[in-house]
Structure 1
């Protein structure tokens, strides 16, 4: 059995804090901080936050009802839509009903297995370029190199490599926009989403403006025919279904959605995976042997030859889920695992809590890729592990993200060894996504 490695997580309190304190304490700046030990043993909590009733279910049966068996009753909350609309508008992630179904049909073919397989060569070249910039021995910010790599991939795969989307300025603006959007603030709960207070909010607003302006320019330059890439197909299809100006704005909304989500979440998964392997050298060596052998075969089928690396990635997504939380609003009265739900109440689903719940996972905070070994699927409820959501609204880009991460990690492992950087404190930061705060430094050395 591999050595036991317990990766970093924010400290936990002995007792739950009052609900209102979550609007002003560390939890308001970092959604995965400030939780009590009880949060990882309880099955359901009901909170009253300034008159808004919020349920936090953790039993997989309740999660399954919200995301699958009664998914039509649980829509994106109006409050959340107000918070994220300035960034991604009415794109696929933020829409409901017929608008959501229409957009899902438009983008789904681009993420089908065959379409994703054809991108493995592009992904491999980007991975090789990233390694070429590393020292033979020394310290690197794996979070920054992961972001740069996935940003280039998403720009090339979906936007024909538009150089306006691969600058360090673009990366900094996106980071600022995401952090600002993810912070829980008193004025957001009160519906005062227009109020921009503090340097984080102001930087986020600058980032949002940059992103929207850049993508609007790109979409308008394309015209109604769009072009031959992903965003071109989205533009053409939208113009056949909606009036011209609405089609243009929906194209911008989806460009923002897939550009941000398409690289940010995978970059974080890469950084966390590298960190976990750095902390468990035996796991890393086994994964490296697999990667070196697998790289000699057909590039399009490379991910299929990386079963152990896939286990590592799955475990990284358990410990550090791409989206630490997401919300739904009850459209009608219901019941979740014996708890009554009233129309208009919010359901806050927390993969961060679900994936570390002690009633669901043995040694829940420890890094153990063998949890996802072949044949062990029957040991867990299908809704206790939801890194990409679940039900009809499961992330349409999940396969792309998984293939991208596996190909990049394989090339990284075949080039360098990773070790934890002495003196550097790794800190998870929960916003819209779950990223390493202030980067993630690792030491690299030759094989």
Structure 2
């Protein structure tokens, strides 16, 4: 069995401008192979200095022990601001802390159980959409995964299915935006004043405005429903009615648009990436798929049955390891630091790369292989603890991590119980980093009814 696709590493030495061009086009193939075994690597340009960190002690320092000293870098943020505004994904300091105080209660305790019905409904709808295509023809499953994940987030956030006019329009605009927006733009390389042009494409700016206008309409309608006591008890209502426990203030309509935009990005785009790659990996490993299908067909359909989907959970973990939706996170030093006996000045960019960490030769046996059974072996526990960051870690860990894992299990169980997926000969997806790790030209699989 061949290894899952992985971008070819760039040559060990290239010119600065060649590297920057590769980095802007696709950050995954712009990396040298040595980063898959290095504890730390440094990169200098005339515009900034950066270090990529794989050392577990440094990762723990940055994410868990001193997170306030390493805020998110604005170099990444400016590329995403047309869509995400001042969402919790991009903010730092007191602003971020206030946002998390309002958002976190919606994901705590038994809140996951309340979203389970929406996940199940979206799973059934995904099964129904595939039915007329499941005759052995090649189906672009990444698009199907996007559709299903968007359905989950709209049902969970606003109690509307993807077929709702506004939901469908938002989904279509987001698909266009995702393809037009590289992860990095000019500001990632040249840090300048706020008035400096950021060179977002016309399509990026147009689709971002369209998405935010659609979200604003949903937020306005929900605010009116809340005021009249007619709002459903979904995620949007919970967040819009939750006051900051320290100030008593709630999100303004503009702030809520920012947060819904990141919920859609995090709750739809990352889940779609994970689902698409998991289906591909199962299709190319039919013996694993057959075992997972048995598990799926035995699923009770009840929330309590999620804990029995162990192989499906491990297949999802392995897909997240090989194809982490957010391949790199960038922090910034706020004071002089010393990493592995190397002095770093204030403003140094610190790259935390799940893409490299999850395939790191010092942590994982056969790091490029799809092996979901590794998660049940004792030797994997240490690597999972030290070198597995699909949802970040520490105070900035994704609040929806548990939601995402449950969603993946529900959707995969629904699909595998009804359909068998086969690889299309000669069709190998190429991983690239847009807003998340996607396949350059989609993922095509043959689908059969079981």
TM-score, reference length from structure 1: 0.91
Cα distance, 1:86 vs structure 2:
2.2
Matched ranges for 1:47-196 at <5 A: 47-134=43-130, 135-137=133-135, 138-161=137-160, 163-167=164-168, 169-186=169-186, 188-191=188-191, 194-196=197-199
Deviation per residue, 1:415-447 (Å, 9 max, x gap) = 111111123231112123111222211001122
Cα distance, 1:298 vs structure 2:
5.3
Contact 1:290/1:306, CA 8 A, preserved across alignment: yes
- Distance between the aligned counterparts of 2:189 and 2:243, measured in 1? 33
Contact 2:220/2:253, CA 8 A, preserved across alignment: yes
1:385 to 384, 388, 407: 388
- Distance between the aligned counterparts of 2:188 and 2:350, measured in 1? 17
Deviation per residue, 1:362-403 (Å, 9 max, x gap) = 211111112211644533262311000011111001000100
Contact 1:91/1:254, CA 8 A, preserved across alignment: yes
Stretch deviating more after TM superposition (40-49 or 148-157): 40-49
Report the equivalent of 2:205. 205
Contact 2:35/2:356, CA 8 A, preserved across alignment: yes
SS in 1 for 2:367: coil
- Distance between the aligned counterparts of 1:56 and 1:62, measured in 2? 11
- Distance between the aligned counterparts of 1:208 and 1:165, measured in 2? 15
Stretch deviating more after TM superposition (319-328 or 76-85): 76-85
Report the equivalent of 1:21. 18
Contact 1:56/1:350, CA 8 A, preserved across alignment: yes
Deviation per residue, 1:282-324 (Å, 9 max, x gap) = 111111111111x2x2511232011111111100000000101
1:423 to 423, 426, 447: 426
Matched ranges for 1:322-337 at <5 A: 322-337=325-340
- Distance between the aligned counterparts of 2:13 and 2:60, measured in 1? 26
Deviation per residue, 1:337-381 (Å, 9 max, x gap) = 433322111101111111111122121111111221164453326
- Distance between the aligned counterparts of 2:13 and 2:35, measured in 1? 8
1:264 to 259, 265, 269: 269
Correspondence 1:440 to 2:443? yes
- Distance between the aligned counterparts of 2:380 and 2:9, measured in 1? 30
Report the equivalent of 1:363. 366
Cα distance, 1:335 vs structure 2:
2.5
Q: CA distance change for structure 1 residues 172 and 23 in 2, over 3 Å: closer, same or farther?
A: farther
SS in 2 for 1:6: coil
- Distance between the aligned counterparts of 1:379 and 1:218, measured in 2? 44
What are structure 2's unaligned runs of at least 5 residues? none
Correspondence 1:233 to 2:215? no
Contact 2:183/2:434, CA 8 A, preserved across alignment: yes
- Distance between the aligned counterparts of 2:333 and 2:181, measured in 1? 23
Cα distance, 1:195 vs structure 2:
4.2
Cα distance, 1:13 vs structure 2:
3.3
Q: CA distance change for structure 1 residues 374 and 310 in 2, over 3 Å: closer, same or farther?
A: farther
Deviation per residue, 1:174-205 (Å, 9 max, x gap) = 233334443433454224763436xxx22222
Stretch deviating more after TM superposition (421-430 or 395-404): 421-430
State the aligned residue count. Answer: 436
- Distance between the aligned counterparts of 2:341 and 2:294, measured in 1? 48
Cα RMSD, aligned residues only: 2.3
What are structure 1's unaligned runs of at least 5 residues? none
